[in-house]
A and B are shown apart, each in its own frame.
Chain A
Amino acid sequence: MSFYIVAIGGTGARCVEALIHLAASGLLTQDRIQVMFIDPDESNGNLTRTRNTLKQYQACRALLTAQEIVCPWLQTPIESLEVWSPFQDGSNKTLGTFFNYESYRHSNKALGHLFDVLYTKAERNAELDVGFRGRPAIGAAIMSQVRLERSGQDVWSRLIQNIELDLGQGKFPKVFLCGSIFGGTGASGFPTIGRLLKNRLDQAKASDRVKLGGLLMLPYFQFSVPSGQDSGDIYAKPEQFLLNTEAALRYYQIQGIFKSIYLLGDQDPATVKNFSIGKNTQQNDPHFIELYAALAARHFFLNEDTAPVVLLSRRNAQQITWDDVPDRAQVKVRLANTARFAFLWVANVEPELNQGKNNIGEFQKLAPWFSKFFRPKGWFVGGKGLPDLNEDSQQEEIRLIHDWSVSFLQWLGTLHFSGGEVRNVQLFRASLFLERTGQVRRTTDDFPRLVLGAEGLEQANTASPKALKEQLTLQTDNFPGAAGLATALYSLCKP
């Protein structure tokens, strides 16, 4: 099996960010996932964060694959097909120039007048390198110009080639599109790209072997437009979100593109802190809905038969608990495992290793697990085949695992804070491992209490950092070095 995910716009990128974290937790399979991003605003903050998350994931995973370590943690190979933007050639970054408006306004006046009717002057002249400014009408026009068959030099051809390659090998690829329905890029790109892909597969007579799924994010956040913002300017307006959504849903009611479609939204949209038209300032905190988005992608990828419309509900409008999480038994165990490991690494193990590297002879006596993974100092103490803690490669491994762990904890913690005052996200006691400022806490006193509703997780309430590190000292046949230490600790952190 091979999986493809096409993330459209900033919201699509955020969904992929959540999926990467689920994959890191071992909630997907060892089948490869290829990710393609579509965004006219390549410097979009959400997209940048997701790409960084993916890079951290890949770098950390490479540590395990280098030693052929098999572990649920980071088990899924995820590859990026990079970002596709309709403005990749660097020119034509307004609607008018993209369609040569000035040219045919004189040569074909009727067409020029039609263009005038469809788009205001401000819309025609707005710079679109910040995205489609919450205007699906602009985005749809530009996205419709994508020609899959002739874009041989870019990511589209790689996507199509890889799908065809999979088909040639007898695989049954699954392609999943995700984006928002209420903004600009997602709302315009989702149906257009979906239709183009469907047409291409129909031409190749591969529609029955390639399963196309989609996730549409209904409004789940809003923002306040600053009072000084020019109301005549072109930007996403939250008051239009529901109107855009309603109109778009009418289209999907009659479409026949997707085998399965997932719709996710929130009746009490969270208010994001910063208003931004685009670029790197458009970076929103992770939201719990994105966890569901990733779970939807997981559901689509892992299940052979998925319903055309997948339904999910929650028990209590004021809170989200494990009872509201699909496939909760597995999701709870895996997320708890990963959160416990990441927290212990950042708050305890990594600071210890950093202190210990200055005086290994002393540190190895105070941290008995050390000499299982790193070369001890002294006579008759063994350590053949183990790396030195101070080797550059080991320091790099420690840093990579730390960076990944921080990224995971920040994502997991922040989505707990996304419910606002309306409802509580009650999966983990996020405040025990993450400050509101985004800093990971450095005290592990409450480590056994991280997971809410841990009654079903046998070790969660009893396994203290002390007990886990004591078990580390008893490891045999473990892999050496920081990667070996991390995977051993990950296995021990399993509830």
Chain B
Amino acid sequence: MIWELTRILTVSIISAILIFLIQPWLYRSAIGFFLVTDLDIEDWLAEQYMPGAVIVFSTALGATILWYIIARNKAVTAASDVAPMRLPWGLLLLIPIIGICCALYFFNKSNDALLSLTFLYVVDTLMLYWFSTAISSPGLLKFIPPGSFTLRHLLRLK
């Protein structure tokens, strides 16, 4: 249990650094794909990006924590009990997806940033929800997130 929580915490910290430090830096650097010209970049980052990023971060992290709690407490004794748990994992994925939609709808007035922002939010969600649950799902549900079987074997995670 301690290892699983440590992994969630580690991925969350890395994701937070990515979302709140590295990604704004990419926009400030105005490198190719991240070039925003239709708004003042500092204003956009402060008023649009940050609130949207908080929504994406919190919904993805919330879904991860919720999944961990459900998986930890679910009484499963056989493979037949494990398979149906793919549904709640998939439903929980809707939370960060809705978070991305809300963030883009309510907190993005820049047409230039729409594509890159969508891409970054999707990467953030993959990191915070998929990767996090793939390496830290507990017990008999450890291989429920898609790709977790190969990923955990590749990373040699117990």
Which A residues have a C-beta under 8 Å from some C-beta of B? 348, 351-352, 355-356, 363-368, 371, 376, 378-382, 444, 464-466, 469-470, 473-474
Interface contact B82-A367, CB-CB below 8 Å: yes
Contact B77 A444 (CB under 8 A): yes
The verdict on A470 contacting B139 (CB below 8 Å), with A365-B149, A366-B83, A382-B153 known, is: yes
Q: Are B76 and A466 in contact (CB under 8 A)?
A: yes
The 3 closest A-B pairs by CB, nearest first: A366-B79, A365-B143, A470-B139
Residues A366 and B82 in contact, CB atoms below 8 Å apart: yes
A-B contact pairs, 26 of them (CB 8 A): A348-B77, A348-B78, A352-B78, A352-B79, A364-B149, A365-B143, A365-B144, A365-B148, A366-B79, A367-B79, A367-B82, A367-B140, A368-B140, A371-B153, A376-B149, A376-B153, A379-B150, A380-B150, A381-B153, A464-B75, A464-B77, A466-B75, A466-B140, A469-B77, A473-B158, A474-B158
User: With A and B bound together, what is the CA distance between A363 and B150 in angstroms?
Assistant: 14
Known A-B contacts: A364-B149, A368-B142, A464-B75. Give 20 more (CB < 8 A): A348-B77, A348-B78, A352-B78, A352-B79, A355-B80, A363-B79, A366-B143, A367-B140, A368-B143, A376-B149, A376-B153, A378-B149, A382-B153, A466-B76, A466-B140, A469-B140, A473-B140, A473-B142, A473-B158, A474-B158
The answer for the CA separation of A355 and B80 in the assembled complex, in Å, is: 10
| Min CB–CB distance B75 → chain A (angstroms) | 6
Q: Mark B128-143, 1 if CB is under 8 A from A, else 0.
A: 0000000000111011
Q: Is B31 an interface residue (CB 8 A)?
A: no
* B contact residues vs A (CB 8 Å cutoff): 75-80, 82-83, 138-140, 142-144, 148-150, 153-154, 158
A174 to B74 alpha-carbon distance, docked (Å) = 53
Kindly list chain B residues whose C-beta atoms are within 8 Å of the C-beta of A473: 139-140, 142, 158
Interfacial chain B residues near A470, Cβ < 8 Å: 138-140
Residues A466 and B77 in contact, CB atoms below 8 Å apart: yes
B residues near A355, Cβ cutoff 8 Å:
79-80
Distance in angstroms between the alpha carbons of A364 and B77 in the assembled complex: 15
Residues of B within 8 A of A444 (CB): 77
- B153 x A380 contact (CB < 8 A): yes
Q: How far is the CA of A449 from the CA of B140 in the complex (A)?
A: 22
Neighbouring A residues of B150 by C-beta, 8 Å: 378-381
Provide the bound-state CA to CA distance between A351 and B79, in Å. 10
**B139: which of A348, A352, A466 is its contact (CB, 8 Å)?**
A466
| B147 nearest in chain A by CB position | A365
On chain A, the residues within 8 Å of B149 by CB distance are: 364-365, 376, 378, 381
CB distance from B34 to the nearest CB of A (A): 33
In the bound complex, CA of A371 to CA of B75 (Å): 21
B105 to chain A, nearest CB (A): 36
* Chain A residues within 8 Å of B140, by CB: 367-368, 466, 469-470, 473
Q: How far is it, in angstroms, between the C-alpha of A189 and the C-alpha of B50 when the chains are bound?
A: 93
> Quick check: A380 and B154 within 8 Å, CB to CB?
yes
With a cutoff of 8 Å between Cβ atoms, the chain A residues found around residue B75 in the complex are: 464, 466
How many angstroms between the C-alpha atoms of A378 and B153 in the bound complex? Answer: 10
CB distance from A461 to the nearest CB of B (A): 16
Chain B nearest Cβ from A185, distance in angstroms: 47
Bound form: Cα–Cα A191–B26 in Å = 97
Return B18 CB to nearest CB of chain A, in Å: 26
Q: How far is the CB of B77 from chain A (nearest CB, A)?
A: 4
